Amino acid sequence: MQSSVAHDRVWIDKQTPGVYHALESVAIAVRNAAATVDLGRAVMELVNVRVSQLNGCPFCLDLHTRAAREAGVTAQQLDVLDAWRRAPYLFSEQERAALILAETVTSLPDEGILENEYAAARQHLSDDQISVLIWAATTIGAFNRVSILSKHPVRVRKEN
């Protein structure tokens, strides 16, 4: 197969499209599962944005901050998302629990912290919601790695 190179990187989504399409299928399955367990699109996009912030993925941040706004996440929530723990009044109990899981899945802290964070999330989420959110954070983390390692560009666009 011919190489798809951006600058000095292989675009692995183009180089091995079957695997990338499988990852897209996982994302669709996660989105569908979220809808069945009362996790709204706004919560899911907050998770996508927060994980992408933690991983430093500009492509996914550009994509998912726009999707978050379309899903009803406020500009103020996005503005302070990096410091959400210090602004709990801006986020619902469910959103805070989802963000706890998103950060835990992304950073995989030591066992003591993991247990505390998991217990905090369990206070506001069902087992089904926890499962879906862990899958969501895992999936966006995989997309972050695809985009970061492929060096996907963020295209400049005119703002309205």
Per-residue confidence (pLDDT) for residue 55, from 0 to 100: 98
Asked whether the beta carbons of 132 and 39 are under 8 A apart, the reply is: yes
Asked whether the beta carbons of 125 and 70 are under 8 A apart, the reply is: no
Domains of the chain, earliest start first: 12-150 (1.20.1290.10)
- Whether 95 shows a pLDDT value over 90: the answer reads yes
Per-residue confidence (pLDDT) for residue 56, from 0 to 100: 97
- Whether 87 shows a pLDDT value over 90: the answer reads yes
- For residue 21, CA distances in Å to 29, 72, 83, 103, 119 come to 12, 28, 34, 26, 34
Cα distance from N-terminal residue to C-terminal residue, the chain = 41
Per-residue confidence (pLDDT) for residue 3, from 0 to 100: 47
Query: pLDDT tens digits, residue range 135-155?
Result: 999 999 999 999 999 999 998
Query: pLDDT tens digits, residue range 120-140?
Result: 999 999 999 999 999 999 999
